[in-house]
Amino acid sequence: MSTIRSRRSLPVIAAALLLPLAACSSQDGPAASDEGGRLRVVMAFPPAQAMSPYGDDAVTLSRLAVVEGLTTLDGNGAPQPALATSWKRESATAWTFELREAVFQDGTKVDAEAVVRSLTAAGKASPLPRVLSDVKLTATAQDADTVRIVTEEADPLLPQRLANPSLTILSAGAYEGGTVDPAGHATGPFTLTGVKGAVAATLERNADYWGGAAKSPGVDVTFVADGTARANALRTGEVDVAEYVPIAQASLLGDSFVHEFPSARTNGLSLNTGRGVFADPAMRAAAREAIDSEALADGVYEGRADTSQGLLGPGVPWAAKARTAPTGRAEAADEEQVAKTGEIVLATYTNRPELPEAASIVQQQLTERGFTVKQVVRDYAQLEADALAGKYDAFIQARNTLLDTADPVSYLASDFTCDGSFNISQLCDPRVDAAVAKAASIADTDRRHTAEMAAEAAILGADALVPLVHERFVQGYDGERVQGVALDPMERTLITADTRIG
């Protein structure tokens, strides 16, 4: 799909996507939610796996305050109690977790058996959740309120890992019928009561929530991939909260609706190291040399992004001090060699509106270097399976480097090791695997960070991913009317028990 055709059809697309939102409004025009009333939220990513907790839908469930794990994370990424009140490390590989008194949304008790069932199911899921790419764990019930978790190898990050939304704890009813259904079977302040395909979802207040009833009676969610449509819905009062406002719309909304904050997200160009043109390290090096990060930060993100520094940007503040130069880089092919290659397919998705524009600039930069580039731009749900299967030569994605465990070691393992479950670059390099494994084994935080930067140097040296920019997030809501929206650099929370109108 060409960029010109995409932009010309934007008003038609936006109008179609806004139809579900209009249903929330009166015939006389959009009506704001009453004080203390239901929240209306528009989100960027529609369910891709029918709200399965084992893929990206788990993050959606977490951002809507539906699911919980044994732990949660504070603003610094440190583990805090959730369904577990405390934990103790018995040995390098064994931990015990004490459970709080809580009930699932279907009224059944949260106990050790439920925790064991949920963690065991996650470990058997196919594909495996990214957070389990670099660890295998076994959970057993010591008594009704105590769970023992053993990992095959030492895992100093286990309490952080268990906060991942893919390791949510669900009741027995969630596993009936051959699929995993979180609707009515989780523990969060809101209960998922209905999903209308990839269009909408309905949440109701969980009156039995252990942390106290939510301040809003419920949430009406619409999924709209088009960023301009989301911003328009906020501007016209059809929604109360708009997720991921496009940079181009931020100045039009005004300061009271725009809430910008730093992120741990790196937007990068994944190069397919397994087949095609970029299986040649010299061609990957040529592609890397073609990229001008500053042009992307200024031209696409209007200064609301930082130029590339590595896999980990300013949202990971310790990274810059520990960074070392890339190791083992190949010499780049010259323009004559590049010109002899065939057409490459560059793919990205529409859910983040800056990415198609970034893809057009990257296409221009690669073309100037001699590559022949074809773009594929679609909704993320239509691209993910092919991207993971290595069907594209290059793929532009926005990736939160702290999403899995609040420490980048899980991101490095899932995205860049031979057995990584989110390895879009198809990288399989013994040097990288060894460097990531070393980092994962280190309990001391400072030493682990140093080892992670050594792994970053090996990955950048392989040119498996070319960092483009480091994003800053923009969430949209009227700060004078909507209270309690979470601005989370790790992207796990958005709507909380405290989110409310008035």
Segment 7-31 shows an average pLDDT of 38
| Whether residues 280 and 428 fall in one domain | yes
Question: For residue range 273-332, what is the model confidence (pLDDT) as tens digits?
Answer: 999 999 999 999 999 999 999 999 999 998 889 999 999 998 888 899 999 999 999 999
**3-state DSSP call for residue 194?**
strand
Examine the domain organization and report whether 15 and 140 are in the same domain.
no
Q: Is 281 found in the same domain as 229?
A: no
Residues 6+ apart with CB under 8 A from 322: 449, 450, 452, 453
Q: Are residues 318 and 463 in the same domain?
A: yes
Predicted pLDDT at 404 = 79
What's the pLDDT at 33? 57
The answer on 301 and 154 residing in a single domain is no
Looking at residue 410, its pLDDT comes to 87
| Shared domain check, 77 and 199 | no
Please say if the pLDDT value at position 210 is more than 60: yes
Domain for residue 84, yes or no? yes
CA-based nearest residue to 400, from 493, 298, 326: 493
283 & 428 share domain: yes
Q: Is position 80 within any domain?
A: yes
How far apart CA 304 and CA 302 sit, in angstroms, is 6
Q: pLDDT for 440-492, tens place per residue?
A: 888 888 899 999 999 999 999 999 999 999 988 899 999 999 999 999 888 89
Q: Is residue 16 part of a domain?
A: yes
CA distances from 289 to 114, 331, 333, 475 (A): 51, 10, 10, 33
pLDDT at 338 over 90: yes
Asked if the structure places residue 183 within a domain, the reply is no
Boundary of a domain, candidates 153, 175, 197: 175
- Residues 265, 391: contact at Cβ < 8 Å? no
Q: What is the pLDDT of residues 229-255, one digit of tens each?
A: 999 999 999 999 999 998 889 888 988
Q: Are residues 373 and 495 in the same domain?
A: no
Domain CATH code at residue 379: 3.10.105.10
Say yes or no: 339 and 227 in one domain.
Answer: no
Q: How many domains, in total, are found in the chain?
A: 3
What DSSP string describes 176-190? GGGS---TTTS-SSE
Assign 34 a pLDDT band (cuts: 50, 70, 90). Answer: low
Angle at 446 between CA 440 and CA 448, to 5 degrees: 10
Count the alpha carbons within 13 Å of 11 in the hemisphere toward its beta carbon: 1
Print the domain residue range for 292: 264-472
Does residue 279 share a domain with residue 331? yes
Per-residue b or e along 109-124, where b marks 16 or more CB atoms closer than 10 Å to that residue's CB: ebbbebbbbbbeebbe
**pLDDT band at residue 378 under the 50/70/90 scheme:** very high
Residues 343 and 399 in one domain: yes
Domain end point (choices 123, 142, 175):
175
Q: Is 294 inside any structural domain?
A: yes
**Which tens digits make up the pLDDT trace of 80-89?**
999 999 999 9
Residue 431, in any domain of the structure: yes
Residues 343 and 302 in one domain: yes
Mean pLDDT of 328-337: 95
Final residue before a domain boundary, out of 175, 199, 231: 175
Contacts of 12 by beta carbon, 8 Å cutoff, 6+ apart: none
Judge whether 257 lies within some domain: no
- Count the alpha carbons within 13 Å of 119 in the hemisphere toward its beta carbon: 25
The CATH number covering residue 18 comes to: 3.40.190
- What average pLDDT is seen over the chain? 90
CB contact set of 305 (below 8 Å; sequence gap of 6+): 247, 267, 296, 297, 469, 470, 471, 472
Query: What number is the average pLDDT over the span 77-99?
Result: 95
Q: Could you tell me if residue 181 is inside a domain?
A: no
Identify the CATH number of the domain in which residue 111 sits: 3.90.76.10
